[in-house]
Amino acid sequence: MALIRLNFTTETDQVLFSGNSCVKEVILNRPAKMNVLNHEMICKITKNLTVYENDPSVKLVILKGNGRAFCAGGDVVSAISSALIGHWTYFASHYRVLLALGHLTSTYKKPVVCLINGIVMGGGAGISMNTTFRVVTEKAVFAMPEAYIGLHPDVGASYFLSRLPGHFGEYLGLTGAKLNGAEMVACGLASHFVPSKVKELIKKEP
């Protein structure tokens, strides 16, 4: 059966790609929807990351999101809407490519820096928490909200949550509790903490 792809949004440039020959930026660009990942976005990110990984001139990849979120997860509304009207192939494919993207970022052969200056939840955590460097600010908010609807944490969460100290990962997975940036660093989810104003200073011309 052929895969039926549905487009539930008219937004354009939902993912931006920029940078130079050595450093590439992947920018999630659905700020009005907190950068939730739909099928098309996931495929574009996967395609470009694969190209960067195989390009010897690329030394570093930066992932970040526009607006108040890095990524609030997968586009559950679009996926469920497709399932409700009978397009299970789209629903299954969406979940498959999201898992594949999480695996790609987790096993990437080059350094990946995730700049998390806002919300990072669900699938957004899945594509970022296993990367080389996870840089958070005071605006960062982490959670696995799947727990609120009785779903197990997915997209690689069983790996990174199980490696937190004590039973803290189990607590986060069962409760969906929220963490701020400092708490993410303290428990090991994030590797670095910087004030959000640093981003503005870096962009200033000398």
The answer to whether 40 is a known catalytic residue is no
Ranges 87-91, 184-188, 202-206, most confident:
184-188
- Give which of 129, 72, 123, 78 is closest to 100, Cα–Cα: 123
Q: How many CA atoms lie within 13 A of 7 on its CB side?
A: 7
The answer to whether 146 is a known catalytic residue is yes
Of the candidates 154, 156, 169, 176, the residue annotated as catalytic is 154
Of the candidates 122, 123, 126, 156, the residue annotated as catalytic is 123
Q: Is the dihedral of CA 16, 20, 21, 25 positive or negative?
A: negative
pLDDT in tens, 1-28: 333 344 444 456 999 999 999 999 999 9
pLDDT of 76 reads: 73
pLDDT of 199 reads: 63
pLDDT of 4 reads: 38
The model carries a pTM of: 0.85
Angle between the N-to-C axes of helices 76-84 and 88-106, in degrees from 0 to 180, rounded to the nearest 10? 150
CATH of domain 15-199: 3.90.226.10
Domain boundaries, given as residue ranges, for the chain: 15-199
pLDDT greater at residue 12 or residue 42? 42
pLDDT of 200 reads: 64
Of the candidates 40, 73, 102, 146, the residue annotated as catalytic is 146
Distance CA 99, CA 66 (A): 22
Of the candidates 65, 73, 74, 173, the residue annotated as catalytic is 74
pLDDT of 99 reads: 93
The answer to whether 13 is a known catalytic residue is no
